[in-house]
Amino acid sequence: MDELILVRRMAENVLKRSKEYLSSHPDYDEVLTRRATDVTRKIDMVAEEALDSIIIEEGITARVISEELGERLVPADKEPEYTLVMDPIDGSANVVMGIPYYCTSLALSKKSNGATFVDIEAGAVAAVWGSTFYASKGKGAFYNGERLATKEHPEKPRYVLYSYGVGPMPKGVIALVEKRCFVRTMGSIALDMCFVAKGSLDAIMDTRDRISGYDIMASALILIEAGGVITDYSGRDMSSLPVNVSGISILGAANGALQGKLLKRLR
């Protein structure tokens, strides 16, 4: 079985079913659960349940790690062939506000237990506008069939920054953005990272210690396969971190040289 075709098809189908629900159920934004830093809405659960159904329809077995339902086996009574890591709706706040910038992010590992970042073999980020970013380990990253390559814009760098809601912004970030640059915060970190992979943006930073594996597992592979790099916010390699990691900050960049420059400035 071609795992890239599989993961892409599954991500696109989860998003398709979520969009169908959005268009026919006005209660999609109903809050079901509140947590310290996030909420679970009805549309999130629709997407979670869609993945479980699609796994069974595909005839595979998987250990699923996802934002809303955590870790589970699907089907529950079978040994898993894969680990699947999913953010069902990355950008759900955008959904509620009517902003068409969100996605379904899905990553796959053939290692069914104890998988880490380096074990991810395929990933797909299906965007609401009908296109998909996808990558296979060692085989490149693509968008609508075209190979992706990162690009730096030294004349006026383009950064994505998430540093709100957790107290004062780090001084290094303030010093960085006070220089000549573009700064965006668009509400879907998986899509934002894919646009770094596409060459539209130079780097992405999240300083809040709120990132979990499911947020970036697919997009991190896409960025790396496009020629970019990603570390934690201190510059430490993340390849050995478990896919169910949580509470981290990240820095992704178009290339290693830019990553090194940013790390020095941010300190």
DSSP 159-224: EEEE--SSSSPPHHHHHHHTSS-EEE--S-HHHHHHHHHHTS-SEEEEEEEEE-HHHHHHHHHHHH
Query: Is residue 254 domain-resident?
Result: yes
pLDDT value, residue 37: 67
Q: Which of 217, 66, 225, 73 is nearest to 143 (CA)?
A: 225
The token pair that represents 117 in the structure block: 């970042």
130 and 176 share one domain = no
> From CA 163, how far away is CA 208, in angstroms rounded?
6
Query: Is residue 93 domain-resident?
Result: yes
pLDDT value, residue 120: 98
Query: Is residue 153 domain-resident?
Result: no
Per-residue pLDDT of the chain (267 residues; tens, 9 = 90+): 699 999 999 999 999 999 999 999 998 888 878 776 677 888 999 999 999 999 999 999 999 999 889 999 999 999 999 999 999 999 999 999 999 999 999 999 999 999 999 999 999 999 999 999 999 999 999 999 999 999 999 999 999 999 877 667 777 777 777 778 999 999 999 999 999 999 999 999 999 999 999 999 999 999 999 999 999 999 999 999 999 999 999 999 999 999 999 998 887
According to DSSP, residue 239 is labeled: T
Q: Which of 159, 124, 160 is nearest to 142 (CA)?
A: 124
121 and 19 share one domain = yes
Count: domains in the chain: 2
Q: Which one of 147, 166, 198 terminates a domain?
A: 147
68 and 141 share one domain = yes
Q: What pTM, to 2 d.p., does this model score?
A: 0.95
88 and 178 share one domain = no
> From CA 53, how far away is CA 18, in angstroms rounded?
13
Q: Give the domain extent around 261.
A: 158-266
Query: Is residue 152 domain-resident?
Result: no
**Domain CATH for 203:** 3.40.190.80
DSSP H helical ranges for 30-99: 42-58, 92-97
